[in-house]
Amino acid sequence: MQRSEPDIRLLFVRIKEGDKEAFNRLFRLKYEALLSFAKNYLGDTGKAGEVVSDLFVWLWLNRAQVAEIDSPDIYLFKSVKNLCLNALRNKNKVVPIDEQPLPVQPSADNTPLSLMEHKELSARLHALIENLPTQQRQVFKMIKESGLSARQTAKILDLSQRTVETHLYKAVKKLEEEISLYLGYSPRKKQMKKMLAVL
């Protein structure tokens, strides 16, 4: 994800100059990831959408200031986080996290049985992710689903990078253990055996 940051900086510079196409490109690039992130706080897809839309409206109205932002990705996620916390403060209650699809690639074998197995495994993995401790779940989603680095995630959540890496490690370890129990074998070990067989 860091590779795209210079492109986003360039978009911010063009937005400052009033370039609507650059603004639309930024919106298309970042809307889904920011919406998913906002849903972690607000649960409600509609409310999360409002928060992200408000941020983009603010960006356009205050475009004269955006070119000075050093880390656009971090700025966007931190802004959404602050808007969500303000929304929760105003509501004076915490809302449970809404369901969101987990991007798992379907099998190349598209038989009805393999599609059913994929759907079942995807649902199981989704449920396991949602049951992770809050901080682990949030870190996992930000890095694995939104594509942020550990450093970016640490800055957004006001945590040390080491803490973020620990949360990610624990989340992945827990998911691997649960999926191994569910499948009856370790997916990682099976993949290693295949790789060794090729060598």
For the chain, how long is the longest CA-to-CA vector? 60
Over 50: is that where the pLDDT of 2 sits? Answer: no
pLDDT for position 34: 92
Report residue 167 as tokens. 């949360």
pLDDT for position 13: 87
Classified as helix, coil or strand, 4 is helix
Q: For the residues 75-82, what does the mean pLDDT come to?
A: 89
Over 70: is that where the pLDDT of 91 sits? Answer: no
pLDDT for position 96: 38
Structure confidence at residue 182 as a pLDDT band (50, 70, 90): low
Structure confidence at residue 163 as a pLDDT band (50, 70, 90): very high
- Looking at every residue in the chain, the average pLDDT score rounds to 75
Cα 42 versus chain centre, distance: 14
Structure confidence at residue 186 as a pLDDT band (50, 70, 90): low
What are 7-65's pLDDT values in tens digits?
888 888 888 888 889 888 999 999 998 988 888 888 877 888 888 988 888 888 888 87
DSSP string, 56-94: HHHHHHTHHHHTT-S-HHHHHHHHHHHHHHHHHHHHTSP
Q: What angle do CA 195, 106, 141 make, to 5 degrees?
A: 90
pLDDT for position 8: 84
What proportion of the chain, given as a percentage, has pLDDT over 90?
5
Identify residue 76 by its one-letter amino acid code.
L
What are 97-131's pLDDT values in tens digits?
333 333 333 334 445 555 566 667 677 778 888 88
Q: For the residues 161-179, what does the mean pLDDT come to?
A: 86
Give CA–CA dist 83/32, Å, rounded: 16
Q: How many CA atoms lie within 13 A of 41 on its CB side?
A: 26
